[in-house]
Amino acid sequence: MRITILETGRAPGRLSEDYPRYPDMFVQLLSTADKTLSFETVALPDGAPLPAPGDCEAVLITGSPFGVYESTPWMDPLREFIREAYREERPMVGVCFGHQVIADALGGVVRKSEKGWGIGRHTYDILSARPWMSGAGAALSLAVSHQDQVIEPPKGATTLARSAHTEHAMLAYEGAPVISLQGHPEFSNEFVGALYSARRGKTLTDAAVDAALKSLEQPEDNALVAVWMTRFLRQARS
């Protein structure tokens, strides 16, 4: 199976030079779960044209520093791509911004949360475990970095996981093989720690960064989510 990764943003400053780009993080993550996968990247920030959804076996939409309410040359075309892919029942996964833009394109409400920044290791309660989520326990832990959230999911979307900070942290769509999540299974502790530290004294206080870095000592479920993603996409293609 070939996964088309839609790259929608890059890490700020030198982080984009010192660490792999987001698509490369996903290639590394998902290849550990399924070594038979192949990948192609469409770099939207560089002006790369979106493919026809029907030409994609499976789609993954990355995180981004942009919000769905911002104007970029590729934002509206991406929304139309998502709607067309949904109509054609293309298997699709969204992470962080990808989670948000899918919900936005399909009629949900996404905006900056009154709860402020979500950073550090967040633990979500699993509300409903689908067949592709074998191995799921009562909770799921991932690193996060976001201000925006899905406030109201689109019609036909079911919330699979939540926390006190993020009510709709993981969604599954009933009309097409689409899932999305707010947390970052592709982020290593080293990278996300550097990301928080780069924002110290700017968008984040010292106390917030220190607490976020401390929380990264808790276990994470990156590998488990990689298995879920690959299993979901494989089942959707069968």
pLDDT digits (tens, 9 = 90+) for 198-221: 999 999 999 999 999 999 999 999
The alpha helices in 95-144, defined as continuous H runs, are: 97-105
Buried b (16+ CB within 10 A) or exposed e, 179-193: bbbbbbbbbbeebbb
Q: What total number of domains does the chain contain? A: 1
CATH label of the domain that carries residue 178: 3.40.50.880
Which structural domain range is residue 197 located in?
Answer: 2-237
Q: What is the pLDDT of residue 230?
A: 98
Confidence of residue 175 (pLDDT cuts 50, 70, 90): very high
Q: Which pair of structure tokens corresponds to residue 13?
A: 């400053």
Contacts of 32 (CB under 8 A, 6+ apart): 223, 226
